Amino acid sequence: MADTIRVLIVDDIPETRDHLTKLLGFEADIEVIGAASSGGEALDLATRLQPDVVLMDINMPDMDGISATERLSSQVPTASVVMMSVQGEADYLRRSMLAGAREFLVKPFSSDELTASIRQVYVRDREKASRIVAAAPVAVPAADVDGEVIAVFSPKGGVGRTTMAVNLAVAAAQELGKKVCLVDASFQFGDVGVLLNLNPKNKSIADLVPELELGEAPSLETFVINHSSGIRVLLAPPSPEMAELITVSGIKRVLEGLRAENDMVIVDCSSYFSDVTLAILDMADVILTMLTLEITSIKNMRLFLEVADQLGYEDDKVRLVLNRADSTLGIRVVDVEQSIGRKVDHTIVSDGRSVVYALNRGIPFFVSNREAQVSQDILRLANAVSGVHHPATTATTATAESAAKLAKGKSSIFAWRS
Ligand SMILES: Nc1ncnc2c1ncn2[C@@H]1O[C@H](COP(=O)(O)OP(=O)(O)O)[C@@H](O)[C@H]1O
Ligand SMILES: [Mg+2]
At residue 143, the pLDDT reads 42
> Distance of CA 360 to CAs 145, 197, 363, 404, Å?
38, 9, 8, 51
pLDDT, tens digit (0-9, with 9 covering 90-100), for 56-105: 999 888 888 999 998 888 788 889 999 998 866 667 777 787 778 888 88
Nearest atom within ligand 1 for CA of residue 355: 27
| Ligand 1 centroid to residue 157 C-alpha, Å | 9
pLDDT computed for residue 146 by the predictor = 87
Banded model confidence at residue 406, pLDDT cuts 50, 70, 90: very low
Q: Answer whether 321 contacts ligand 1 (Cβ < 6 A).
A: no
Q: 213 with 247: CB under 8 angstroms?
A: yes
Same fold, 5-131 and 148-385: yes
Helix segments in 175-288, DSSP class H: 192-195, 205-213, 248-261, 275-283
pLDDT over threshold 50, residue 27: yes
Atom of ligand 1 nearest to the CA of 374: 1
On the question of pLDDT at 291 being above 50, the answer is yes
- Tell me: the pLDDT tens digits for 187-221? 988 999 999 999 888 889 988 877 766 655 567 88
Which residue has its alpha carbon closest to ligand 1 atom 5?
Answer: 352
Asked if residue 118 lies in contact with residue 89, where contact means CB atoms within 8 angstroms, the answer is no
HSE-up of residue 414 (Cα within 13 Å, Cβ side): 15
- Give the per-residue pLDDT at 412: 28
Closest by CA position to 152, among listed 174, 131, 167: 167
Across 159-171, average pLDDT: 97
Q: Which of 154, 159, 163 to mutate to test the pocket of ligand 1 (most atoms within 8 A of CB)?
A: 163
pLDDT recorded at residue 90: 66
Ligand 1 mutation target, pool 192, 322, 355, 359, most atoms within 8 A of CB: 355
Q: What is the mean pLDDT of the chain?
A: 84
User: Looking at per-residue confidence, does 184 or 61 come out higher?
Assistant: 184
> Measured between alpha carbons, how far is 330 from 335 in angstroms, rounded to an integer?
10
Sequence-separated (6 or more) residues with CB below 8 Å from residue 56: 10, 42, 65, 68, 69, 81, 82, 83, 84, 101
Interval 333-337 mean pLDDT = 89
Q: Report the pLDDT averaged over residues 227-242.
A: 92
Mean pLDDT of 21-42: 94
Q: Are 226 and 232 in contact, with CB atoms under 8 Å apart?
A: yes
Whether ligand 1 lies within 6 angstroms of the CB of 350 is answered as yes
Residue nearest to atom 8 of ligand 1 (CA): 160
Atom of ligand 1 nearest to the CA of 164: 17
87 CA distance to ligand 2 centroid (A)? 26
Report the chain's terminal Cα–Cα distance, integer Å: 31
What is the CATH code for 5-131? 3.40.50.2300
CB 230 less than 6 A from any atom of ligand 1: no
pTM: 0.67
pLDDT at 97: 79
Sequence spans of domains, the chain: 5-131, 148-385
Parallel, antiparallel, or unpaired: how do β-strands 225-226 and 232-234 relate?
Answer: antiparallel
- With beta carbons less than 8 A apart as the criterion, state whether 162 and 191 touch: yes
Residue 362: Cβ within 10 Å count: 13
Rounded-to-integer distance, Cα 83 and Cα 85, Å: 7
> What pLDDT sits at residue 189?
87
- Of 55 and 70, the structure prediction assigns the larger pLDDT to 55
State the distance from the centre of ligand 2 to the C-alpha of 161, rounded, in angstroms.
Answer: 5
Lowest model confidence (mean pLDDT) among 38-42, 43-47, 138-142: 138-142
Report the share of the chain in percent with pLDDT over 70: 85
Contact between residue 287 and residue 256 where contact means Cβ atoms under 8 Å apart: no
Query: How far is Cα 349 from Cα 225, in angstroms, rounded to an integer?
Result: 30
Q: Summarize the confidence of residues 131-142 as an average pLDDT.
A: 37
Quick one: pLDDT at residue 99?
79
* Mean pLDDT calculated for residue range 298-313: 90
Q: Write out the H or E segment, with its range, that includes residue 111.
A: helix 111-128
Give the strand order in the sheet containing 232-234: 225-226, 232-234, 180-185, 264-269, 148-153, 286-291, 318-323, 346-348
In order of 27, 171, 187, 418, the CA distances from 400 in angstroms are 20, 39, 39, 25
What does the pLDDT average to over 263-272? 95
Does the beta carbon of 162 lie inside 6 Å of ligand 1? yes
H helix or E strand, kind and range, residue 10: strand 5-10
- Rg, Å, the chain Cα set: 22
| CATH number belonging to the domain at 148-385, selected among 3.90.180.10, 3.90.1170.40, 1.25.10.10, 3.40.50.300 | 3.40.50.300
Q: What distance in Å separates the CA atoms of residue 392 and residue 55, rounded to the nearest whole number?
A: 22
